[in-house]
């Protein structure tokens, strides 16, 4: 029994050292810059400002976004800009965006992160839109500025019904 506890203790130390090593690999200034980018993104959505939203994305045909809205993917900055224009045009007033559980790891030129994002607004038809999504982002530092180069937006799906869970909080 004593050997078992020693073994568990050694595993715990090893796991803690891996966690510390991974945390040490992230560049604090890069993480701070990406957090500022995400804050700017949320501010853009809340202001219903497509230009501000899109200022956070790589402005090139290389941008790839998998969104919850069809089509399956948006290739390029222009295509994703049109998606945001459509989403925001559907809101009668300013939407309300909240981002939680933001986690970022980044080196000097590349990073990745994930968050939970909640978007709500009253649509032009008077019906409420209330959507909670999971977002994973790949970031690149381009010309000294952090930008989202790849994004994957998803929702959980109930496999029994085939229906998306648009309000899952956990």
d(CA 70, CA 57): 19
- Hey, where are the domains in the chain? 26-164
* Torsion sign, CA atoms 54, 87, 150, 46: positive
Q: How confident is the model at residue 72 (pLDDT cuts 50, 70, 90)?
A: confident
What percent of the chain lies above the pLDDT cut of 90? 74
CB 155 within 8 A of CB 90: no
d(CA 161, CA 156): 12
CB 58 within 8 A of CB 85: no
pLDDT at 4: 35
CATH of region 26-164, choose from 3.40.710.10, 3.40.50.300, 3.10.450.50, 3.40.50.2000: 3.10.450.50
pLDDT by residue (tens digit) across 108-155? Answer: 999 999 999 999 999 999 999 999 999 999 999 999 999 999 999 999
* Torsion sign, CA atoms 144, 145, 146, 147: negative
pLDDT at 21 over 80: no
Query: pTM for the full model?
Result: 0.83
């Amino acid at each position: 029994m004593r050997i078992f506890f020693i073994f568990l203790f050694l595993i715990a130390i090893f796991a803690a050292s891996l966690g510390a090593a991974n945390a040490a690999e992230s560049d604090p200034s890069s993480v701070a810059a990406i957090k500022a980018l995400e804050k700017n993104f949320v501010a853009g959505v809340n202001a219903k400002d497509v230009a501000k939203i899109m200022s956070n994305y790589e402005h090139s045909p290389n941008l790839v976004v998998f969104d919850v809205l069809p089509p399956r993917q948006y290739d390029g900055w222009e295509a994703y800009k049109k998606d945001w224009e459509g989403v925001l045009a559907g809101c009668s007033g300013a939407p309300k965006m909240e981002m939680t559980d933001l986690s970022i790891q980044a080196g000097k030129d590349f990073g990745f992160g994930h968050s939970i994002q909640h978007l709500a607004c009253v649509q032009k038809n008077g019906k409420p839109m209330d959507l909670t999504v999971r977002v994973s982002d790949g970031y690149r530092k381009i010309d000294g500025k952090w930008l989202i180069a790849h994004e994957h937006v998803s929702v959980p799906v109930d496999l029994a019904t085939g229906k998306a869970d648009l309000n899952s909080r956990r």
